[in-house]
Structure 1
């Protein structure tokens, strides 16, 4: 219902275990559905499913505490993970019923796109391990390996 209604009440929050406090870093996200920390821990990438985009939230440096739209996607992102070399993998489901695994960098450049519709019409997760991609979906009862 949140996707269909255009709900934009999603938030990116930070928990401080020493102070036992939660603070809100970003507000107004439309079905935020994935977050990944950069290799150097200077920023986070946050997916926003219903608006087809990825935000970059700065944790350090001169832009600390600010966010920007990193990139617009050709479909709805459903989770994002960091690879061992510092790139990111995004599961993207396009309106044309194509499931894509996209490899991007922290600047929003697309490095690689893999059409994974052979696994499922939708994918929810792309994870890299031992030079293989593991693809998950909420619509099928198996994991694809590429």
Structure 2
């Protein structure tokens, strides 16, 4: 579960994931939601519905919006909390792979952990949900489906975006020699700290 506290109304915005995340990511099931909980009134409201595996929430530096990842379809979404656009959403960026979590740095930029890049096969299945559901019913091992989605080699990347959604930087290990299946990235004191929900490692990258 990802959660953040809003400075606007003291509410908590959160999305809930599952341990069966790989099946959800590759099936493209659109049962995901982003919820808002008000601890004062103890009320929960739905901000988003019909999302394909939403995961990771991060508040902007000025608190005017938050962003979250939509894993199956590879998007970074923005939800406005303040200003004329308050209560509305937009696609902030189309990501180069399967995103996991997103974190804001001290400058207000957003680092996104990319589990692996998406193959042409993955893009094709995303465009045709009926074909994807039929294909996933075939007696093919889950590992084979996974490798076909990511190109046969477990690898990873982290990408940085501006608050406006401009791509600023990509760091990638295409062969997975150092990092694989990154699910967390955090910038602290000029370094990037990375980890994975699947692989037992903590990696540190010195930024220039």
RMSD over aligned CA atoms reads 1.3
Compare CA radii of gyration and give the structure with the larger one: 2
Counting helix residues as a fraction of each chain, which structure ranks higher? 2
Calculate the TM-score normalised by the size of structure 1.
0.94
Residue 121 of structure 1: aligned partner: 180
- Greater displacement, 43-52 / 2-11: 2-11
1:129 and 1:37 mapped to 2: Cα distance? 17
Alignment of 1:24-35 (within 5 A): 24-35=46-57
1:3 and 1:112 mapped to 2: Cα distance? 25
1:13 and 1:111 mapped to 2: Cα distance? 29
Is there any run of 5+ residues in structure 2 with no aligned partner, and where?
Answer: 1-22, 119-150
The counterpart of 1:71, out of the listed 93, 109, 119, is 93
4+ residue segments displaced more than 6 Å: none
Counting strand residues as a fraction of each chain, which structure ranks higher? 1
Residue 41 of structure 2: aligned partner: 19
2:184 and 2:99 mapped to 1: Cα distance? 9
The question of whether the paired residues in 2 share the 8 Å contact of 1:127 and 1:134 is answered with: yes
Calculate the TM-score normalised by the size of structure 2.
0.67
Alignment of 1:40-55 (within 5 A): 40-55=62-77
